[in-house]
Amino acid sequence: MLIDNGIYVEGERVDTPTSLEETYDLLADHGGLAWIGLYRPTAAELASLASEFTLHPLAVEDAFRGHQRSKVERYGDTLFVVLRPARYVDEREEVEFGELHLFVGPDFVITIRHAESPDLARVRRRLESQSPLLALGPEAILYAILDRVVDEYQPVVRGLENDIDEIEQQLFGDGDDDALARRIYDLSREVGDFQRAVKPLAGMLEWLRRGYDKYRVDVEVQRSLRDVLDHVIRIDERVAEFRSLLDKALTVHSALVARRQTEAALHQNDEIKKISSWAAIIFAPTLVGTVYGMNFDAMPELHWAWGYPFALALMLGFAGTLYAIFKRKRWL
CATH number, domain with residue 75: 3.30.460.20
Domain boundary among 221, 237, 258: 258
Please, what's the largest Cα pairwise distance for the chain?
134
Q: Which domain holds residue 178?
A: 2-258
pLDDT of residue 125: 93
Domain boundary among 208, 223, 258: 258
145 near 70, Cβ under 8 Å? Answer: no
Considering the domain architecture, whether residues 231 and 299 belong to the same structural domain is answered as no
pLDDT of residue 149: 95
Considering the domain architecture, whether residues 252 and 284 belong to the same structural domain is answered as no
Convert the pLDDT of each residue in 34-76 to its tens digit.
999 999 899 999 999 999 999 999 999 999 888 888 999 999 9
What percent of the chain is predicted at pLDDT more than 70? Answer: 85
Confidence of residue 170 (pLDDT cuts 50, 70, 90): confident
E strand map for 187-327:
none
Spatial neighbors of 33 by CB under 8 A, at least 6 apart, are 7, 8, 9, 107, 108, 109, 137, 138
Considering the domain architecture, whether residues 285 and 254 belong to the same structural domain is answered as no
Is residue 124 packed enough to be buried (19+ CB in 10 Å), middle (13-18) or exposed (0-12)?
Answer: buried
Question: CA angle, corner 236, sides to 234 and 238, nearest 5?
Answer: 70
Convert the pLDDT of each residue in 201-220 to its tens digit.
999 999 999 888 888 888 99
Considering the domain architecture, whether residues 225 and 283 belong to the same structural domain is answered as no
Phi first, then psi: what are they for 194, rounded to 5°?
-65, -40
Number of structural domains, the chain? Answer: 2
111 three-state secondary structure: strand
Considering the domain architecture, whether residues 282 and 173 belong to the same structural domain is answered as no
- State yes or no: pLDDT of 230 exceeds 90: yes
pLDDT of residue 195: 93
pLDDT of residue 178: 77
Considering the domain architecture, whether residues 149 and 224 belong to the same structural domain is answered as yes
Confidence of residue 81 (pLDDT cuts 50, 70, 90): very high
Domain boundary among 258, 289, 307: 258
